[in-house]
Amino acid sequence: MSGFLNERLQKTQQYVPGEQPGDGEYIKLNTNESPFPPAPGVCRLFNAGLAERLRLYPDPTARRLTDSLARECGVNAENVFICNGSDEALSFAFMALFEDGVAFPDVSYGFYEVYAELYGMPYVKVPLREDLSIDVGDYTDIDKNIVIANPNAPTGIELPLCDIERLLKEHEDRVVLIDEAYIDFGGSSCAELIKKYKNLLVVQTYSKSRCMAGARLGFAIADSALTDDLMRIKFSTNPYNINTVTLAAGEAALGDRAYFEKCVSSIKETRAYTAGELKKLGFVMTESKANFLFARHPDIGGETLYKELKKRRVLVRWLSGERTREYTRITIGTREQMDALINAVKDILKENANA
């Protein structure tokens, strides 16, 4: 710390991203990336004249990609805001829209609390039910903006659309932000509801289901008054927030619906397979609609399992919070990767039983 850092920022906690070791060192099941490469059309771009286009600034309005995404989502271009990873849309929303306070579940994406602290607004963490699901009735008397990941992270549990609609109705004067980072793996998107509710802000990303975590591309869908607000922040901080390469890759990925569907259905199939195998080994888990499982074993704590797996070159995520520490979060990779995980787990359980 320099001694120049603003006093308010000296105490804030930073988000701790999952480990990103060098390529090939681990079977990497810790940060919910796709095990598959981006669509073939994206990969081809890098052999074409893309590098040459780096000479110029990118289009600050991201016009082409905005139009394509609007078509894809069945909304108008004015309802789409493109951002540098969905984290940026979250950051802008906290910065610009939530000054009177925000509520989110006690177990959810860690960044919500980091942003609330960074931008210095009051916030409440609303406890999940005992089974780790969200009871929207718990929000009825909270007069604050609301942020919910659907499916939630790290539980993977989906919140039904009727519950989201209830939140929107009961908090008409507040923003309800629904973070749909994992929606493509089996949930129902609420994006259509923006036509009915001016207080709904939906955030999605290319990082998970579109196999492009490294491109840093996300987008928000909302009533145009809300996307205008986000645009105002973008043009006041970094108008060229999406680089030329990422814009082109985003377009190319959208152009290949079949590849996207193939990747998503493979993840869903492998998720069911992995869940079944882990259950046979005695694991208990939530009903995940995301590209990860959130599982615990009665005989072995989350941290021990994480460390033992790491020794065996398999990386999963362990979250040290009081309500998450018994669990590990396991990204769904390829079938081969999951078999390697399952074999490592069997080995660990056997060793544990003999100890």
Ligand X SMILES: *Cc1c(COP(=O)(O)O)cnc(C)c1O
Segment lying near ligand X (by CB under 6 A), choices 205-213, 221-229, 231-239, 241-249: 205-213
Return the residue of 38, 105, 186, 218 that touches ligand X, per CB under 6 A. 218
Q: Which of 205, 244, 324, 331 binds ligand X (CB under 6 A)?
A: 205
How many other C-beta atoms are found inside a 10 Å radius of the C-beta of residue 216?
19
Question: Which strands form 218-222's sheet, in the order they lie side by side?
Answer: 80-83, 218-222, 200-205, 176-179, 145-149, 102-105, 123-126
Q: Which of 30, 79, 207, 209 binds ligand X (CB under 6 A)?
A: 207
The tokens describing 191, both together, are: 């994006």
Smallest separation, CB 245 to ligand X (Å): 16
Which residue of 158, 163, 179, 251 would you call a contact of ligand X, by CB under 6 A?
A: 179
Contact residue for ligand X among 128, 149, 315, 348 (CB under 6 A): 149
Number of other CB atoms surrounding residue 52 within 10 Å: 9
Smallest gap from Cβ 352 to ligand X, in A, equals 30
Using CB under 6 A, which residues numbered 101 to 140 contact ligand X? 109
**Residue in this structure with the two tokens 């973070």, named with its chain if needed:** 179
CA dihedral sign, ordered 231, 235, 241, 246: positive
Secondary structure string (H, E, C) spanning 335-353: HHHHHHHHHHHHHHHHHHH
Helix (H) or strand (E) holding 176: strand 176-179
Give the one residue of 85, 105, 186, 250 binding ligand X; rule: CB under 6 A.
85
> Of 73, 134, 153, 177, which lies in the binding site for ligand X, with binding defined by CB under 6 A?
153
- From 83-91, 113-121, 160-168, 223-231, give the range in contact with ligand X by CB under 6 A: 83-91
| Nearest distance, CB of residue 207 and ligand X, angstroms | 3
Task: Catalogue the E-assigned strands of 233-333.
Answer: 284-285, 292-296, 314-315, 327-331
- Pick 246 or 274: Cβ nearer ligand X: 246
Question: Cα dist. 202→150, 153, 340 in Å?
Answer: 10, 16, 36
Chain residues that interact with ligand X, rule: CB under 6 A: 32, 85-87, 109, 149, 153, 179, 181, 205, 207, 213, 218
